[in-house]
Amino acid sequence: MACSAADLREECLAKLERAPDGVVEDALRRLIAFKERFAAPKVVALTEPGPPFASHRALASALREGQELEGVAGPSFDPTERA
């Protein structure tokens, strides 16, 4: 969990443990689908001496223009959609 407050983290964990399995499993399936859809690209060796990298500038340009990127969901992605 991404919570730095130990007491809140423990409270959330206790509530999750009391939740019906179906609720937790459904949420986990959606989380797994989200992670698969937006998985970090594989690390590749640097071919340029340092920032700003041409690949980063190209990505920023594509995002500004609203282009769909290979392996990345386009603007139609709905994060509340259930997998």
Q: How confident is the model at residue 82 (pLDDT cuts 50, 70, 90)?
A: low
Tens digit of each residue's pLDDT (9 = 90 or more) over 18-67: 988 888 899 889 988 988 888 877 776 777 777 777 878 888 888 888 77
Tokens standing for 12?
A: 């959330």
Q: How confident is the model at residue 81 (pLDDT cuts 50, 70, 90)?
A: low
Tens digit of each residue's pLDDT (9 = 90 or more) over 13-25: 888 889 888 888 9
CA dihedral 68, 71, 77, 81 (to 10 degrees): 170
